[in-house]
Amino acid sequence: MEKVILQGRGVIPGVVEGEALVCASSITGWGGIDPETGEIKDYENVHKGRSIKGTVLIMPGSKGSNGWSCYFGAARVAGAAPKGWAFSKIDSSAGVASAVMQIPTVVDFSKEEDPCLCVKTGDYVRLDGNKGTLEILRRASQEKK
């Protein structure tokens, strides 16, 4: 596989690896997840029923109100948060939630390197909040070697 590294801007330092969960339409902040389990409850989300727990969550930005920081922060306290997350573009609710979550966070990718378009759910990725990069290590369709 050709090496794919998307360049954004790191805002919360740290490096994590894991399975990507791409929510191209984002997740509603207020009631969009079950904070105890990380399960997506947002009825409009294609991943409704899946958990964000332990994933590298990729979204275009926030969706809804500042309830984002409450629900995602509660998921962190319950041990049901993602390992790290990336936003195509940072906005105020995503910024506040990132500060509350304190998980590696990368934001503000170019249009050509939008992670919502370049990464697929199930891809194995490395998110580096220090360098501001999101690297696709293995595509979901590839067998482990």
Amino acid at 95: G
Q: Catalytic site residue 65? A: yes
What's the helix, strand, coil split of the chain in %, to 5? 20, 30, 50
Per annotation, catalytic residue among 26, 65, 88, 92? 65
Label each residue of 83-128 as H, E or C. Answer: CEEEECCCCHHHHHHHHHHCCCEEECCCHHHCHHHHCCCCCEEEEE
Question: In degrees to the nearest 10, what's the CA dihedral of 57, 134, 111, 114?
Answer: -30
Residues with a known catalytic role? 65
